[in-house]
C-alpha cells in the first residue's frame, strides 16, 4: 500500500510497534543525536521527539532505521518485492519489440513506465497552509540538529534538494546536507559528483542564479529516491512513483519555478548565486569521521511554506551502521542488482557492508566463465555511476554468499595470492574520503578472490586447486529431518559451504555455458 506522506509513515510505524514517542524535553544540540545513536545501534524503534528546546515543532528521527521499516515505508513486505518488479521491467525493456505495430501491441506491458510521471496538482496544497516570506523566515526556530561536538553548527540532514538543469530543464532531487548559517542562509554541501552540483556549475558558467527548493517530508518513496544512485536521465520523483505504484503529487512552489511534493511537511525556497560561497563544515559524516567541509554555495532562503501542524524530519549519521545504511545502502543494493545484472549478466550478487561506509568496500559474487573475468567484472562495476567511487572491490565465485560478509572474506582470503590477485589502480573517489592522496581522487584495489583457472597461474604449477569441504547432501537432509529428535532446540540450518558447482576442473576445461541462449 502506497504511503502518501510522513503522517502515513508515522501511523504505519505506530501500528507496527516500531515508533516510540519521547515526551521529555530534549536539546537539539548533541542530546538528540546521542539518544538516536544508542537506539539505532541497538536495533531500536523510530523516534518522535515531541518537545525539542527552541522550537515549536516535533522532530521525527530514525524512521528508516531497519530493513523492516524501509520496506514498510515503501509499502511492501520486503524490498525484494520491488527488486523483482524492477527486474521484470528491465527484462521487458530489453525485449521491447521493434516496429510501430509491435510496439503498440505491447502497450499493456509498458503500463508501469507510464505510471512513473508525477502529477502537478492545482489549488492549495497541504504544504502551503502556512506561507512565510523574507524576514518572516527564521531557520533557527526549526528543530535542526547538531549531531557531534566537532560539527560546525546545526544541519538539515534528510532533505530533498530540488533543482532544475538551466540548459535542459531536467529535474534533479538529491539528499545534500545543509548547514544553518543564519535565519535565512544555508551552506549547501552538494558534492562534485552529484546532479545538484552539475546544475549549479552550468548556472555559474552563464552567470545566473540557480533556484532551489528544499523539502522535508512527503511521500516516503521520494525520500528514498532522492538518495538512490539512479542512472542519469531518470527523474527521482518518477522513480518514486514506480516504487509506490502511484504517481507522486507535486505542486508549484510559491516563489521559485520548481515543483515540490504537495504533501511535504515544509519547503524552503530560494536561490544560489554564482559566486556566493561560505565555509561549510566540519561535519561528522556517515563514514564515522569528521568531513572538513570547505567552500560551498549559500542558499538564500526567500520563503518557507509548511503544513499548519508540521513535523520536522532529521537523520543522525556517524559511525555505521546508522539509519542511512538501511535507507540508502542496504535498499539500493537490493533494488539495483537487476540493473547491474542487465549490464554485467555474470554478476550473481553484490553487498556493500555497513563497515564499508558506502564507498570503501563492495563484495561481488559472480559466475566465472573464463580467465581474467573477475577483473573484467570489477572494472565494469567501476564504470557504473556512483559505484565508480568505490575504493576496494572483492570478487568471489557464484556459490559464495556475500551477505553477511564473513563467507565472502573466508573464500576471498583463501583463494588469493596477494602478489598475483591484488590489483591497484587510480580513479575518482568520494569527497568524504579523507585518506585519498588528493581531493576526491586516489587509489583503488581489486581483490580477485575467485578460484583460479590454469591460465591465471604460474606456468608449471603442479598443485591442484582444492574444492571446499562440503557435507554429503543426503546427510544434510537426514539431519534436517531428524533435528527435533536431538533435543537441541530450533534447527539453525546447515552452515557449510555449498558445492562449487560450475567451478573449472584442474584440467582447465571450461564449464558448459549455463545460459547458452542468454544475452552475453
Query: Whole-angstrom Cα distance, residue 293 to residue 241?
Result: 34
Asked, as a colleague might, if the bond just before 321 is cis with ω within 30 of 0, I would say yes
Query: Whole-angstrom Cα distance, residue 518 to residue 520?
Result: 6
3 state DSSP class of 266:
strand
Q: What is the dihedral of CA 433, 434, 440, 442, to 10 degrees?
A: -100
3 state DSSP class of 373:
helix
Query: Whole-angstrom Cα distance, residue 234 to residue 236?
Result: 6
* C-alpha cell belonging to residue 219: 511521500
Burial 423-432 (b: 16+ CB within 10 A, else e): eeeeebbbbb
3 state DSSP class of 296:
strand
Q: For strand 249-252 and strand 259-261, is the pairing parallel, antiparallel, or unpaired?
A: antiparallel
Q: Determine the longest span between alpha carbons in the chain, in angstroms.
A: 80
C-alpha distance across the termini of the chain, in Å: 37
* C-alpha cell belonging to residue 74: 515503501
E strand residue ranges, 43-192: 46-49, 59-61, 119-120, 130-133, 155-156, 160-164, 171-174, 178-182, 185-188
Whether the Cβ atoms of residue 470 and residue 497 lie closer than 8 Å to each other: yes
| CB neighbours of residue 15 within 10 Å | 10
Whether the Cβ atoms of residue 131 and residue 303 lie closer than 8 Å to each other: yes
Whether the Cβ atoms of residue 510 and residue 454 lie closer than 8 Å to each other: no
| CB neighbours of residue 421 within 10 Å | 19
Backbone angles phi, psi at 11, to 5 degrees: -65, -45
Known catalytic residues are 285
Q: Give the single-character DSSP code of 42.
A: T
Amino acid at each position: 500500500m502506497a504511503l502518501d506522506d510522513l503522517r502515513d509513515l508515522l501511523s504505519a510505524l505506530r501500528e507496527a510497534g516500531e515508533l516510540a514517542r519521547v515526551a521529555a524535553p530534549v536539546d537539539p544540540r548533541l542530546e538528540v543525536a546521542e539518544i538516536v545513536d544508542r537506539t539505532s545501534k541497538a536495533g531500536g524503534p523510530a523516534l518522535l521527539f515531541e518537545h525539542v528546546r527552541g522550537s515549536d515543532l516535533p522532530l521525527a528521527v530514525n524512521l528508516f532505521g531497519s530493513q523492516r521499516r524501509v520496506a514498510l515505508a515503501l509499502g511492501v513486505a520486503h524490498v525484494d518485492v520491488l527488486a523483482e518488479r524492477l527486474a521484470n521491467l528491465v527484462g521487458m525493456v530489453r525485449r521491447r519489440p521493434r516496429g510501430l505495430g509491435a510496439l503498440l501491441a505491447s502497450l499493456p506491458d509498458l503500463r508501469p513506465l507510464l505510471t512513473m510521471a508525477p502529477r502537478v496538482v492545482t489549488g492549495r496544497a497541504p504544504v502551503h497552509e502556512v506561507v512565510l516570506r523574507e524576514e518572516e523566515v527564521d531557520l533557527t526556530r526549526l528543530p535542526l540538529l547538531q549531531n557531534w561536538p566537532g560539527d560546525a553548527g546545526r544541519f538539515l540532514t534528510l532533505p530533498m534538494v530540488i533543482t532544475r538543469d538551466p540548459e535542459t530543464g531536467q529535474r534533479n532531487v538529491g539528499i545534500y546536507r545543509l548547514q544553518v548559517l543564519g535565519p535565512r542562509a544555508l551552506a549547501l554541501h552538494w558534492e562534485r559528483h552529484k546532479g545538484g552540483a552539475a546544475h549549479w556549475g552550468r548556472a555559474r558558467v552563464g552567470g545566473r542564479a540557480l533556484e532551489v527548493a528544499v523539502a522535508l517530508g512527503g511521500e516516503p518513496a521520494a525520500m528514498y529516491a532522492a538518495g538512490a544512485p539512479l542512472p542519469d536521465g531518470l527523474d527521482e520523483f518518477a522513480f518514486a512513483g514506480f516504487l509506490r505504484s502511484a504517481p507522486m503529487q507535486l505542486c508549484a512552489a510559491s516563489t521559485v519555478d520548481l515543483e515540490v511534493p504537495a504533501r511535504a511537511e515544509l519547503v524552503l525556497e530560494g536561490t544560489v548565486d554564482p559566486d556566493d560561497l561560505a565555509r561549510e563544515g566540519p561535519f561528522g559524516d556517515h563514514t564515522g569521521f569528521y568531513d572538513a567541509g570547505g567552500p560551498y554555495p549559500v542558499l538564500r532562503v526567500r520563503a518557507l511554506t509548511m503544513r499548519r501542524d508540521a513535523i520536522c524530519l532529521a537523520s543522525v549519521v556517524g559511525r555505521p551502521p546508522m539509519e542511512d545504511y538501511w535507507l540508502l545502502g542496504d535498499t539500493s543494493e537490493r533494488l539495483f542488482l537487476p540493473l547491474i545484472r542487465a549490464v554485467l549478466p555474470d554478476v550473481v550478487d553484490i553487498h556493500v557492508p555497513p563497515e564499508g561506509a558506502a564507498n570503501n568496500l563492495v563484495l561481488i559474487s559472480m559466475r566465472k566463465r573464463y580467465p581474467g573475468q573477475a577483473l573484467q567484472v570489477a572494472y565494469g562495476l567501476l564504470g557504473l555511476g556512483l559505484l565508480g567511487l568505490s575504493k576496494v572491490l572483492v570478487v568471489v565465485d557464484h556459490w559464495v554468499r556475500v551477505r553477511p560478509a564473513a563467507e565472502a572474506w573466508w573464500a576471498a582470503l583463501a583463494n588469493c595470492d596477494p602478489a598475483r590477485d591484488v590489483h591497484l589502480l587510480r580513479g575518482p573517489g568520494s569527497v568524504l574520503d579523507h585518506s585519498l592522496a588528493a581531493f576526491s581522487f586516489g587509489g583503488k584495489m581489486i581483490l580477485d578472490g575467485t578460484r583460479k583457472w590454469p591460465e591465471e597461474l604460474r606456468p608449471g604449477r603442479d598443485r591442484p586447486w582444492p574444492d571446499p569441504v562440503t557435507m554429503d547432501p543426503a546427510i544434510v537432509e537426514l539431519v534436517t529431518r531428524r533435528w527435533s529428535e536431538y533435543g537441541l532446540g530450533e534447527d539453525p540450518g546447515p552452515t557449510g559451504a555449498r558445492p562449487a558447482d560450475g567451478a573449472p576442473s584442474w584440467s582447465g576445461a571450461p564449464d558448459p555455458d549455463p545460459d547458452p541462449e542468454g544475452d552475453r
